[in-house]
Chain A
């Protein structure tokens, strides 16, 4: 008996042979770099010199007080409006109004197209939208069509409009995923609930408030979580469209981290900002998870 249980324990440890390759890759190429980033963040280092100078929390103070770095963090939060709030709202409108549309050929084609931006690299979206926003681009063409030609401008070159213009590319990228996810979710809501609400005399708005919204709680949570992470850690779109400019008007933490490290050779500052960004992501995502999963036990 004793021999058998010892063999079984050995057996359970032997199972680690299966997990070892993953642990190795993960440890060397993810955990170790994360620990290094935290370590670098306490030093002043140009990335070349053999010695690093310990500066304590000075790089963190800079990340939270220096106007350029601070504004990049603020822009990341502004992006939540464009990457999350707008797409989820659009998605809800689409899902709620298309609840009763049967999936035919038209529906399939439309769904495929709606989803298309989701699979494109952010960089590709950046190029396409740079073109949309250019002087002769589609946005200005439309403004001329509707008689608002006086508003036409080079959108991403404007200090005032660059941030919303770039942010809206995020809206474009996320709307498809949110729409398709929420449409799938609406399809799973029991039609009896709508029937009951109608019998109670609920209008379209009340049906939306009392049936659709609660029924989509989990899907909304998923959309919000994914798009918030994308908003806070955005890099591709901004780097390709504006590199953070004009001035610092579209600077986001991702691009600032890149610039600090590879243009300014301030490895410590760059890592401190990256750590602040990672903490910001956790600080925003963790409560969201808790909020949207709160009633999971009921299911």
Chain B
């Protein structure tokens, strides 16, 4: 690259760098506070020369991280596989089998795609109560599966309608049943779409805040995201410890993101464009 080119490009790289910095400054600031000695009142973005790594150990037990991690993982394992499976089956029925009234079902799903959780959360509370599910993990897992249906069916349907029609007919000539066709032809081909959907659902379930807050009275059964609230209220006055706990509560998502970042960005962009 010659100097003229370099000079032309420098401002652009600087701009990109500035935007990247702007995105991470709040997190760096948080991290810098987290490793301060606890006796100090931390300031903005000021890295100490004597990082106090043991703050993370202290915050880990105070925030009940082990329990919370377990709760979050259980929630994701309870919601994502089932939601992916049943939404794929439904999308297959709507798009490939063209079931009667399937279009109507799909239309109703689309109508509720943009609705905020605020409208369902209060009735869900009373519904859980009358079903005896309040404060149990099932009382959170089952609604989340249902609430994921509009986006998930929408996502998988748009995968199936983009498949070449010949695929459907080839199988039925062989006399394969709908189920065999699904298992042997469509499911293997749908794997990339399934993986992206799983990733998006993992993210939204893991970050779920409102539903655990309302449907579970025991903060230890909340997601990591939900637990930030209790942690802030309890240790808000100890800024160093609060920062350490907050960093820990965010860390799992950030680590998973950095490992899978290409897939995450691709899935989220596809998800956005389809939505």
Contacts and interface: CB of A to CB of B under 8 A. Distances in A.
Contacts of B41: 136
Contacts of A253: 118
A239 B117 CA distance: 15
B86 A25 contact: yes
A244 interface: no
Contact of B112 (A31, A36, A101, A134): A31
Interface string B127-170: 10000000000000011011101100100000000000000000
A110 B119 contact: no
A16 B102 CA distance: 8
A142 B109 CA distance: 48
Contacts of B150: 26, 30
A111 interface: yes
Given A126-B228, A225-B275, A257-B122, A110 B17 contact: yes
A30 B120 contact: yes
Given A19-B99, A116-B24, A14 B178 contact: yes
Given A106-B13, A222-B275, A40 B30 contact: no
A15 interface: yes
A11 B178 contact: yes
A235 B209 contact: yes
Most chain-B Cβ atoms within 10 A of its Cβ — which of A122, A229, A274?
A: A274
A175 B13 contact: no
A179 B153 CA distance: 27
Interface residues of A, number: 103
Interface string B105-118: 10011001011111
A131 B265 CA distance: 28
B65 to A, nearest CB: 14
A31 B127 CA distance: 12
B20 A113 contact: yes
B67 interface: no
Given A121-B225, A138-B25, A233-B117, A25 B272 contact: no
Given A30-B150, A285-B114, A111 B265 contact: yes
A124 B225 contact: yes
Contacts of B182: 18
A184 interface: yes
A294 interface: no
A15 B25 contact: no
B147 A113 contact: no
Nearest to A267: B122
Interface string A61-83: 00000000000000000000000
A58 interface: no
Given A36-B126, A257-B122, A277 B116 contact: yes
B258 to A, nearest CB: 7
Interface string B257-272: 1100100110011001
B162 to A, nearest CB: 15
B20 A114 contact: yes
21 contacts: A14-B178, A16-B93, A30-B112, A36-B123, A98-B16, A101-B12, A110-B16, A112-B261, A116-B23, A120-B250, A125-B26, A126-B228, A127-B232, A131-B246, A239-B209, A253-B118, A271-B122, A271-B123, A278-B116, A278-B118, A285-B114
Q: Top 5 nearest A-B pairs by Cβ distance?
A: A29-B146, A141-B44, A233-B116, A22-B90, A121-B225
Given A29-B120, A175-B19, 7 more contacts: A19-B90, A112-B261, A113-B20, A179-B19, A254-B210, A261-B122, A267-B122
Interface of B: 9, 11-13, 15-17, 19-27, 29-30, 33, 41-46, 86-87, 89-90, 92-94, 97-100, 102, 105, 108-109, 112, 114-127, 142-143, 145-147, 149-150, 153, 178, 182, 203, 206-207, 209-210, 214, 223-226, 228-229, 232, 239, 242-243, 246, 249-250, 253-254, 257-258, 261, 264-265, 268-269, 272-273, 275
Interface of A: 11-19, 21-23, 25-34, 36-37, 40, 47, 90, 94, 97-98, 100-101, 106-107, 109-132, 134, 136-142, 172, 175-177, 179-181, 184, 218-219, 222-223, 225-226, 229, 232-233, 235-236, 239-240, 253-254, 257-258, 261-262, 267, 270-271, 274-275, 277-278, 281-282, 285
